[in-house]
Amino acid sequence: MNLKPSELAMVPFVSVANMMKLIHHVGIEKMLTEIAHEIEEDFKRWELFDKTPRIPSHSDVGVIELMPTSDGELYGFKYVNGHPKNAAAGLQTVTGFGLLADVRTGYPVLVSEMTVLTALRTAAMSAVATKHLAQKSARTMAMIGNGAQSEFQILALKAVCGIDTARLYDIDPSATEKCAANLKGLGIKIIKCQSPEEVIEGADIITTATADKNYQTILTDNLVGAGVHINAIGGDCPGKTELHRDVVARASVFVEYPPQTRIEGEIQQMDADHPVTELWQVIAGRIEGRKSASEVTLFDGVGFAIEDFSALRYVQRAIKGTALYRELDMIADPDDPRDLFGMVLRAG
Ligand SMILES: NC(=O)c1ccc[n+]([C@@H]2O[C@H](COP(=O)([O-])OP(=O)(O)OC[C@H]3O[C@@H](n4cnc5c(N)ncnc54)[C@H](O)[C@@H]3O)[C@@H](O)[C@H]2O)c1
pTM above 0.85, yes or no: yes
* 204 compared with 216, residue with greater pLDDT: 204
If you measure from the C-alpha of residue 38 to the centroid of ligand 1, how many angstroms do you get, rounded to a whole number?
25
User: Count of CB atoms within 10 A of residue 336's CB?
Assistant: 8
Q: Taking the mean position of all CA atoms in its chain, how far away is CA 67? A: 12
Whole-angstrom distance, CA of residue 107 vs CA of residue 105: 5
Q: Is 265 in the pocket of ligand 1 (CB under 6 A)?
A: no
What atom of ligand 1 comes closest to residue 216's alpha carbon?
31
User: What spacing in Å lies between the alpha carbon of 19 and ligand 1's midpoint?
Assistant: 22
Contact 212, 105 (CB under 8 A): no
Q: Reply yes or no on whether the pLDDT at 1 is more than 80.
A: no
Atom of ligand 1 nearest to the CA of 82: 43
Looking at ligand 1, which atom is closest to the CA of residue 210? 24
The pLDDT of residue 46 is above 60: yes
> Of these residues, 42, 204, 236, 300, which one is catalytic?
236
For a substitution probing ligand 1, which of 149, 167, 264 has the most ligand atoms within 8 Å of its CB? Answer: 149
Over residues 330-344, the pLDDT tens digits come to 999 898 999 999 999
| 28 CA to centre of ligand 1 in angstroms | 21
The fraction of the chain above a pLDDT of 70, given in percent, is 99
Nearest CA, atom 21, ligand 1: 147
Distant-in-sequence, close-in-space partners of 137: CB < 8 Å, separation ≥ 6: 204
Biggest alpha carbon–alpha carbon distance for the chain: 72
Distance 179 CA to ligand 1 centre (A): 13
3-state secondary structure of 126: helix
Strand-pairing partners, residue 57, are: 64
Q: What is the mean pLDDT of the chain?
A: 96
Q: Over the stretch 295-347, which tens digit does the pLDDT of each residue have?
A: 999 999 999 999 999 999 999 999 999 999 999 999 998 989 999 999 999 99
The residue nearest atom 8 of ligand 1, judged by CA position, is: 234
Ligand 1 centroid from CA 13, angstroms: 28
CA 34 to mean position of chain CA atoms = 14
Q: Ligand 1 in contact with 266 (CB < 6 A)?
A: no
**Listed residue (319, 307, 273) closest to 128, CA to CA:** 307
Q: 76 and 99 in contact (C-beta within 8 Å)?
A: yes
Question: For a pocket test of ligand 1, which of 35, 91, 233 has the largest count of ligand atoms closer than 8 A to its C-beta?
Answer: 233
**Whole-number pLDDT of residue 5:** 65
In angstroms, the CA 289 to CA 268 distance is 22
**Residue of the nearest CA to atom 33 in ligand 1?**
170
Q: Is the pLDDT of residue 250 over 60?
A: yes
| Cα-based angle 304, 308, 312 (whole degrees, multiple of 5) | 165
pLDDT for 214 equals 79
Based on the residue annotation, tell me whether 71 is a catalytic residue of this protein: no
Domains along the chain with CATH numbers: 7-116+306-339 (3.30.1780.10), 134-303 (3.40.50.720)
Residue 3, pLDDT > 70, answer no
> Which has more confidence, 132 or 238?
132
Whether the per-residue pLDDT at 2 is higher than 90: the answer is no
Q: Output the CA 71–ligand 1 centroid distance in Å.
A: 30
Residue 215: the pLDDT is 83
Write out the DSSP string of 190-220. EEE-SSHHHHTTT-SEEEE----SSEEEEE-
Please give the residue that has the higher pLDDT: either 186 or 6: 186
Residue nearest (by alpha carbon) to ligand 1 atom 41: 211
Place 7 in a pLDDT band, splitting at 50, 70 and 90.
confident
Tell me if 31 CB under 6 Å of ligand 1: no
